[in-house]
């Protein structure tokens, strides 16, 4: 989330963040493991060339600001207090993309375009560990006035065990062995496009991977056989390129596909589609050309993919096979995340359809759904299994935490205290990591509700 001060803020939660800490790094890693935080929510942002960035991990307590916390990039609000800072070497971080946390390895990964690599942070000792290079880096547009996100890299990043998978701006997937240092040359696989390999998702066992070329026109996904827990060398192979029926995603209008997510019970990948044609019938997906422009009125969809029986061209949803494109109501999603009881929360945004003013939860089995009012404009969303909450970074510059499933409550059955929220902050201005406790604030909203369950 980009704050008014120009900082990108990421949130995760703990169960009990108020006890005294001795070894804060070890405590933080214990918490990461205990609460199954396996991915950071990182909203993409490209800033001016003069700006640089700092990456901040949250801790607890009323820590005193150290000398390293002073200067460019230091917190300027009363909601956080810097505890320590970690310098990130290299060029100012003027452009970055997705980040990922692997709690088992105690490592945080950031797609750092400014330095043409994946930055690896040791989350146990709060130190910059190393950088894996070999990416295209920042690419500017033809007039050299803005960053060309569609051709810059790295982009999407995920890990499983010793293997790191990252997309690049030249339409390649790069696979690295994290256990061998120095890192050997990656296995490189081309998806056959001309733009970046962006969002991606792995199956639970790490044996299947789906990636999205979201900036192609028309967009497409690629399904790979991944390494799982295998030893080197990497032996990732392409299974199939997946497109969507042009009646659903017509070519020539800049339509895209976005974040995939794996749902283990149904054994399907679910991929967000921001806009699909004829949803509802006669809607505008960009084909109506007027002056001034006519607003987009088409809602989005959810692509359901069976990785064991993938189709080269996915069409309308088929309930018999649980595959194809599910049309959504009042939601043009950029992101998807899987929560309890096979429920997916989708990050809907008026950036795709101006009439979308809710967030949507849909059940993977029944396709029953509910629209949640008052939360809209989410780019990144995540379900944290540790505290049974969904997290969305939404348009008004706040984070929403919505409780689903069983979670600890006090005797009055109230929501857990908002002081139990921690922050992962990416701040522009200092090329360093900052550890900050989060103070209770009305800028973070939290809601509690009974578990979402499939309808009969």
Number of structural domains found in the chain: 1
What are the backbone dihedrals phi and psi of residue 380, each rounded to the nearest 5 degrees, phi first?
A: -110, 140
What is the reported pLDDT for 23? 31
β-strands 220-225, 208-213 pairing: antiparallel
434 vs 353: CA distance, rounded Å: 36
- pLDDT by residue for the chain (456 residues), tens only, comes to 322 222 223 333 333 222 222 233 333 333 333 333 333 333 343 332 322 333 433 333 333 345 667 766 665 665 556 666 667 899 988 899 999 989 899 999 999 999 999 999 998 888 899 999 999 999 999 999 999 999 999 999 999 999 999 999 999 999 999 999 999 999 999 999 999 999 999 999 999 999 999 999 999 999 999 999 999 999 999 999 999 999 999 999 999 999 999 999 999 999 999 999 999 999 999 999 999 999 999 999 999 999 999 999 999 999 999 999 999 999 999 999 999 999 999 989 999 999 998 899 999 999 999 998 878 888 788 888 877 888 887 655 444 444 433 222 222 333 333 332 333 333 333 344 443 433 333 333 332 222 333 333
Burial degree of 322 (CB within 10 A; 0-12, 13-18, 19+): middle
Residues in CB range of 405: below 8 A, 6 or more apart: 339, 340, 341, 388, 451, 452
Per the DSSP assignment, residues forming a β-bridge with 247 are none
What is the reported pLDDT for 44? 40
- For 238-250, b/e burial (b = at least 16 CB within 10 A) is ebebbbbbeebbb
Q: Which CATH number is 218's domain given?
A: 2.130.10.10
* pTM for this predicted structure: 0.78
Range of the domain at 359: 7-447
Contacts 24+ apart (CB under 8 A), 177-180: 177/232, 177/233, 177/234, 178/105, 178/107, 180/232
Whether residue 223 is contained in a domain is answered as yes
DSSP state of 61: S
Whether residue 2 is contained in a domain is answered as no
Residues in CB range of 111: below 8 A, 6 or more apart: 96, 97, 98, 99, 118, 153, 154, 155, 156, 157, 166
446 vs 230: CA distance, rounded Å: 41
The closest of 218, 120, 221 to 167, measured between CA atoms, is 221
Strand order in the sheet with 343-348: 333-338, 343-348, 358-363, 369-373
The closest of 156, 211, 210 to 39, measured between CA atoms, is 156
What is the reported pLDDT for 71? 67
Whether residue 453 is contained in a domain is answered as no
Whether residue 270 is contained in a domain is answered as yes
Whether residue 452 is contained in a domain is answered as no
Whether residue 56 is contained in a domain is answered as yes
Whether residue 326 is contained in a domain is answered as yes
What is the reported pLDDT for 83? 67
Whether residue 455 is contained in a domain is answered as no
Here the tokens at position 365 are: 């089995």
What is the reported pLDDT for 417? 32
Element (H, E) at 128: strand 127-132
- DSSP sequence for 130-195: EEE--S-B--B-TTSSSB-GGG-B---EEEETTEEEEE-TTSEEEEEETTSSSPPPPEEEE-S-SS
What is the reported pLDDT for 342? 94
- Is 339 in a helix, a strand, or coil? coil
What are the backbone dihedrals phi and psi of residue 256, each rounded to the nearest 5 degrees, phi first?
A: -140, 170
196 touches 238 (CB < 8 A):
no
């Amino acid at each position: 989330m980009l704050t008014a001060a120009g900082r990108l803020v990421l949130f995760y939660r703990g169960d009990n963040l108020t006890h005294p800490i001795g070894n804060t790094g070890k405590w933080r890693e214990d918490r990461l493991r205990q609460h199954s935080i396996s991915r950071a929510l990182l909203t993409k942002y490209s800033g001016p060339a003069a700006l640089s960035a700092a990456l901040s991990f949250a801790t607890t307590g009323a820590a005193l600001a150290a000398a390293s916390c002073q200067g460019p990039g230091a917190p300027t609000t009363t909601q956080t207090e810097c505890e320590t800072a970690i310098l990130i070497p290299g060029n100012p971080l003027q452009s970055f993309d997705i980040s990922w946390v692997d709690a088992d390895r105690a490592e945080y990964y950031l797609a750092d375009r400014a330095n043409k690599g994946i930055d690896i942070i040791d989350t146990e000792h709060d130190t910059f560990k190393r950088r894996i290079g070999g990416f295209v880096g920042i690419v500017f547009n033809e007039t050299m006035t803005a960053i060309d996100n569609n051709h810059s890299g790295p982009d999407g990043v995920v890990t499983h065990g010793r293997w790191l998978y990252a997309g690049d701006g030249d339409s390649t997937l790069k696979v690295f062995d994290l256990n061998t240092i120095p890192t050997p040359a990656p296995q490189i696989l081309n998806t056959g496009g001309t733009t970046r390999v962006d969002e991606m998702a792995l199956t639970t066992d790490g044996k299947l991977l789906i990636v999205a070329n979201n900036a192609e026109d028309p967009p497409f996904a690629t399904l790979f056989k991944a390494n799982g827990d295998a030893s080197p060398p990497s032996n990732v192979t392409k299974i199939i390129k997946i497109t969507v029926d042009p009646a659903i995603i017509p070519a020539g209008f800049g339509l895209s596909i976005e974040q995939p997510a794996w749902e283990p019970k149904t054994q399907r990948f679910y991929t967000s589609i921001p806009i699909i044609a004829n949803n509802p019938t006669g809607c505008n997906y960009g084909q109506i050309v007027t002056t001034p422009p006519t607003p987009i009125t088409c809602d989005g969809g959810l692509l359901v993919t069976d990785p064991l029986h993938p189709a080269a061209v996915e069409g309308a949803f088929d309930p018999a096979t649980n595959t194809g494109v599910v049309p959504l109501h009042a939601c043009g999603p950029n992101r998807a995340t899987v929560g309890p009881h096979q429920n997916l929360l989708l990050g809907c945004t008026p950036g795709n359809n101006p009439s979308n003013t809710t967030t949507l939860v849909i059940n993977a089995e029944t396709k029953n759904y509910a629209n949640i009012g008052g939360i809209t404009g989410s780019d990144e969303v995540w379900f944290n299994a540790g505290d049974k909450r969904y997290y969305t970074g939404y348009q008004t510059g706040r984070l929403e935490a919505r409780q689903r499933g069983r979670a600890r409550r006090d005797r009055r059955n109230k929501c857990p205290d908002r002081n139990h929220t921690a922050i992962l902050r990416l701040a522009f201005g200092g090329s360093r990591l900052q550890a900050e406790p989060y103070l209770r604030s009305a800028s973070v909203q939290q809601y509690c509700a009974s578990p979402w369950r499939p309808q009969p």
